[in-house]
A and B are shown apart, each in its own frame.
Chain A
Amino acid sequence: MKALCYNGIGDLRTERVPDPAILNPKDAIIRVKLSSVCGSDLHLLNGYVPSMREGDIIGHEFMGEVVEVGSEVKKLRKGDRVVVGSIIGCGECHYCKSQEWSLCDNSNPHAWMPEKVYGDATAGIFGYSHAFGGYAGSHAEFIRVPFADHGAFVIPENITDESAVFVSDAVPTGFMAADMANIRPGSVVAVWGCGGVGQMAIQSAFLLGASRVIAIDREPERLRTAREISGAEVLDFSQVNIQEALREMTGGRGPDSCIDAVGMEAVSEGLDYYYDKAKQFVRLETDRPIVLREAIVACRKGGTVSIVGVYGGLIDAVPMGAAMNKALTFRMGQQHSQKYIPQLLEHLQSGKLDPSFLLTHRMTLDQGMLGYDMFNKKQTMRVVFEPAA
């Protein structure tokens, strides 16, 4: 089959590889119909996530059709049209049973790798480096899905492929960001980052009762989408002082909830960007926590900072004094796909959420490198690959 493989930093190639096989009784094989790029792939491609190997198939946001099931798969049937969560959960451990699926004890075969750095191992993720399990990703004609009864969800008929594909990652991640943000009726929410996850966080914040959402980015097209489609007020950080603007727009209080939908590769127009970039370059710091710092300072006293932008390692100069003395609440984590997907499919069915506008470019796998280049340069909201094309 055809697959898009990592071959080094900034080097993706479309190659012919063997078809995947069932390896464990609870596996299923899915024929991938649509597979989206995701901002977190850029961390892999740009070399900020270690433990990638040449030849790894990337991609973790996808939908398709079940073509084969293992002997212990009970619910799925051949021919089912399914969306699969990016995070692999066994469904049996303490964490999965507590609906904290991204903390699964059992789905990472390389648990010893993150354990050394994080003290613990978290769930395996499709196509997301060997530290997260080393599973082959979805930018391929077929993919093996472990614990398929838990990870794959049948898509209701009236939801299109183009909408359903984002229920794999962008929608649940954005929704979880809002869910963690302690939003109450009337809350004002600030969202940093207007990519796919940020857009979904904005829409989810409204869904959970926010009265206003202020979105921050510098890409004109993304800001336009945030305003016109997701309904946010927008701030361009290349044009305005964000601290001042947020303070003034909220009657001097600051936002009740601040959502970081950017993570470790944040940029800013200030000196702090060069400080972090330099330290990152010489590996004194692995991540650039520009958004996180800004969110902590901007957040109102007693407010909540909710983090879904990915961080991988160590960060510097976190204004902990501000966080402590302002009594902020921090919530964060990789999305718990399996917890959110059923209710999100309902929201899509009822029209309360519609992520299909995230698909701005449709490409074949052969155009993989081009697609990621455009995405890296923020020339597209999301490129979605069609492996069969």
Chain B
Amino acid sequence: MTDKKKPVSQVLGIGQIEPEVSGSSRLNVGSTERIWSAAGGAFLLTFGLRQGSLLTALAGGYLAYRGASGHCPISERIGRNTAEAENQVPDAIEISKSLTINRPREEVYKYWRQLENLPRFMFHLKEVTQIDPRRSHWVAKLADTKLASVLGKVEWEARIIEEVENERLVWKSVEGARIDNAGEVRFVDSPDGEGTEIHAVIHYRPPVGQLGGAIMKLFNPTFKQMIKQDLRRFKQLMETGEIATIKGQTSGRLKENQPLDKPSSEYASTDEKHEGLML
């Protein structure tokens, strides 16, 4: 089922910026090879997990990834390309979220613009470093250690291409990013004048193709949920100075002398996984 409705960015008239086409949104694995890669990979992954063989599972996971994504980092490194059409560019996926924060606009903007603050509420980020006033370096946090060992460090550089203080920020990832992305965040006074509406639109070009496209559609709600949760935590942090959590609380699932988990404001990536399972 394809969603034919207008993207929210068009309704709001913001965030029309498109991400670059580079890195893994370029295809270098042909269709036939991808299908075999995905099918074989899925088999190995399942088999490996059942047998408890990490290596088999990892190899399977890798094959499944290149089958699904149509992009093979190894092929790229050795200059191999079996994609039939070199110029297949996947459509960017749009995620948008708005919410209202009960704090003055200047304060909300200031906190956000200090990009180093972002990982405090964006739990999928490990760190963001400002290189100069325009450029920043982003490192993702991968909770799943198996996945992390397959993918390695996921990082990218982003550039602010438009900034209006206390009003809007537009950014784009720099060519060669692992996941090409671009977006806009707007800060608007709420109608009652007491708070700030924040409107975020993010576009990213997933590693796609026919097969990959279908799989990414499955993942899309998860990403969308993640971005929404990020913004919700931002609101909590701005309004209350803390992030609501139950991570680290007691329950009948623990033995009496078992140490409690660390609160989720520090280690929340696992929270997301737990949330995913509860769906």
B102 contacts partner chain A, Cβ-Cβ < 8 Å: yes
Most buried by B among A93, A107, A133: A93
Query: Of residues 61 to 79 in B, which have CB atoms within 8 Å of A's CB atoms?
Result: none
A184 contacts partner chain B, Cβ-Cβ < 8 Å: no
B12 contacts partner chain A, Cβ-Cβ < 8 Å: no
B236 contacts partner chain A, Cβ-Cβ < 8 Å: yes
User: Bound complex: CA of A93 vs CA of B240, how far in Å?
Assistant: 8
A80 contacts partner chain B, Cβ-Cβ < 8 Å: no
User: Bound complex: CA of A144 vs CA of B235, how far in Å?
Assistant: 23
Interface residue from A3, A56, A106, A130 paired with B235 (Cβ < 8 Å): A106
User: Bound complex: CA of A135 vs CA of B244, how far in Å?
Assistant: 10
A: number of interface residues (CB 8 Å): 49
With A17-B256, A90-B239: A133-B232 Cβ-Cβ less than 8 Å: no
Query: Of residues 64 to 109 in A, which have CB atoms within 8 Å of B's CB atoms?
Result: 72, 90-94, 97, 105-109
Q: Verify A23–B248 contact, CB threshold 8 A.
A: yes
B2 contacts partner chain A, Cβ-Cβ < 8 Å: no
User: Bound complex: CA of A55 vs CA of B194, how far in Å?
Assistant: 42
B164 contacts partner chain A, Cβ-Cβ < 8 Å: no
Query: Of residues 1 to 33 in A, which have CB atoms within 8 Å of B's CB atoms?
Result: 1, 3, 5-7, 13, 15-21, 23-26
With A18-B250, A136-B249: A130-B278 Cβ-Cβ less than 8 Å: yes
A134 contacts partner chain B, Cβ-Cβ < 8 Å: yes
With A24-B263, A106-B240, A107-B244: A55-B252 Cβ-Cβ less than 8 Å: yes
User: Bound complex: CA of A120 vs CA of B122, how far in Å?
Assistant: 21
Q: How many Å from the CB of A65 to the closest CB on chain B?
A: 18
Q: Verify B235–A21 contact, CB threshold 8 A.
A: no
User: Bound complex: CA of A210 vs CA of B250, how far in Å?
Assistant: 45
Interface hit among A110-118, A214-222, A325-333: A110-118
User: Bound complex: CA of A279 vs CA of B228, how far in Å?
Assistant: 35
Query: Of residues 130 to 145 in B, which have CB atoms within 8 Å of A's CB atoms?
Result: none
Q: Verify A112–B239 contact, CB threshold 8 A.
A: no
Residues of B with C-beta under 8 A to A5: 251-252
Q: How many Å from the CB of A136 to the closest CB on chain B?
A: 5
Q: Verify A136–B246 contact, CB threshold 8 A.
A: yes
Q: Verify B248–A55 contact, CB threshold 8 A.
A: no
User: Bound complex: CA of A25 vs CA of B236, how far in Å?
Assistant: 13
Q: Verify B252–A7 contact, CB threshold 8 A.
A: yes
Residues of A with C-beta under 8 A to B236: 90, 106
B243 contacts partner chain A, Cβ-Cβ < 8 Å: yes
A128 contacts partner chain B, Cβ-Cβ < 8 Å: no
Q: Verify B242–A26 contact, CB threshold 8 A.
A: yes
With A17-B250, A17-B252, A111-B232: A24-B260 Cβ-Cβ less than 8 Å: no
User: Bound complex: CA of A57 vs CA of B254, how far in Å?
Assistant: 11
Across the interface, name the chain A residue whose C-beta is closest to B249: A136
Q: How many Å from the CB of B15 to the closest CB on chain A?
A: 22
User: Bound complex: CA of A21 vs CA of B228, how far in Å?
Assistant: 28
A269 contacts partner chain B, Cβ-Cβ < 8 Å: no
User: Bound complex: CA of A7 vs CA of B195, how far in Å?
Assistant: 43
Interface residue from A16, A112, A133 paired with B246 (Cβ < 8 Å): A133
User: Bound complex: CA of A87 vs CA of B276, how far in Å?
Assistant: 26
A198 contacts partner chain B, Cβ-Cβ < 8 Å: no
Most buried by B among A26, A106, A113: A106
Query: Of residues 28 to 65 in B, which have CB atoms within 8 Å of A's CB atoms?
Result: none
Could you mark each residue 246-270 of chain B with 1 if its beta carbon is under 8 Å from any beta carbon of chain A, else 0?
A: 1111111111111110011100000
Q: How many Å from the CB of B243 to the closest CB on chain A?
A: 7
User: Bound complex: CA of A92 vs CA of B240, how far in Å?
Assistant: 6
Residues of B with C-beta under 8 A to A107: 244
A51 contacts partner chain B, Cβ-Cβ < 8 Å: yes
Q: Verify A135–B240 contact, CB threshold 8 A.
A: no
User: Bound complex: CA of A136 vs CA of B245, how far in Å?
Assistant: 11
Interface residue from A25, A57, A113 paired with B241 (Cβ < 8 Å): A25
Interface residue from B243, B244, B254 paired with A18 (Cβ < 8 Å): B254
B167 contacts partner chain A, Cβ-Cβ < 8 Å: no
Q: Verify A24–B235 contact, CB threshold 8 A.
A: no
Q: Verify A147–B275 contact, CB threshold 8 A.
A: no
User: Bound complex: CA of A139 vs CA of B275, how far in Å?
Assistant: 25
Residues of A with C-beta under 8 A to B258: 18
With A24-B245, A94-B194, A108-B244: A18-B102 Cβ-Cβ less than 8 Å: no
Q: Verify A23–B251 contact, CB threshold 8 A.
A: no
B100 contacts partner chain A, Cβ-Cβ < 8 Å: yes
User: Bound complex: CA of A260 vs CA of B259, how far in Å?
Assistant: 44
B225 contacts partner chain A, Cβ-Cβ < 8 Å: yes
Interface residue from B195, B252, B253, B275 paired with A112 (Cβ < 8 Å): B275
Interface residue from B240, B246, B265, B275 paired with A90 (Cβ < 8 Å): B240
B229 contacts partner chain A, Cβ-Cβ < 8 Å: yes
Q: How many Å from the CB of B257 to the closest CB on chain A?
A: 7
Across the interface, name the chain A residue whose C-beta is closest to B195: A94
Q: Verify B249–A135 contact, CB threshold 8 A.
A: yes
With A25-B241, A93-B239, A94-B100: A57-B275 Cβ-Cβ less than 8 Å: no
User: Bound complex: CA of A318 vs CA of B259, how far in Å?
Assistant: 50
Across the interface, name the chain B residue whose C-beta is closest to A6: B252
Q: How many Å from the CB of B259 to the closest CB on chain A?
A: 8
User: Bound complex: CA of A93 vs CA of B244, how far in Å?
Assistant: 13
Residues of B with C-beta under 8 A to A112: 225, 228-229, 232, 275
Q: Which residues of B contact A (CB under 8 A)?
A: 100, 102, 194-195, 225, 228-229, 232, 235-236, 239-260, 263-265, 275, 278
Q: Can you offer 5 A-B residue contacts whose CB atoms are under 8 A? A: A18-B258, A25-B242, A55-B252, A106-B236, A109-B264
Nearest first, the 10 closest Cβ-Cβ pairs linking A and B are: A5-B252, A55-B252, A55-B253, A16-B256, A23-B263, A92-B239, A24-B242, A109-B244, A90-B240, A106-B236
Contacts A17-B251, A24-B265, A130-B278 supplied; 8 other A-B pairs, CB < 8 Å: A6-B252, A17-B252, A20-B249, A56-B251, A92-B239, A93-B239, A135-B249, A144-B249
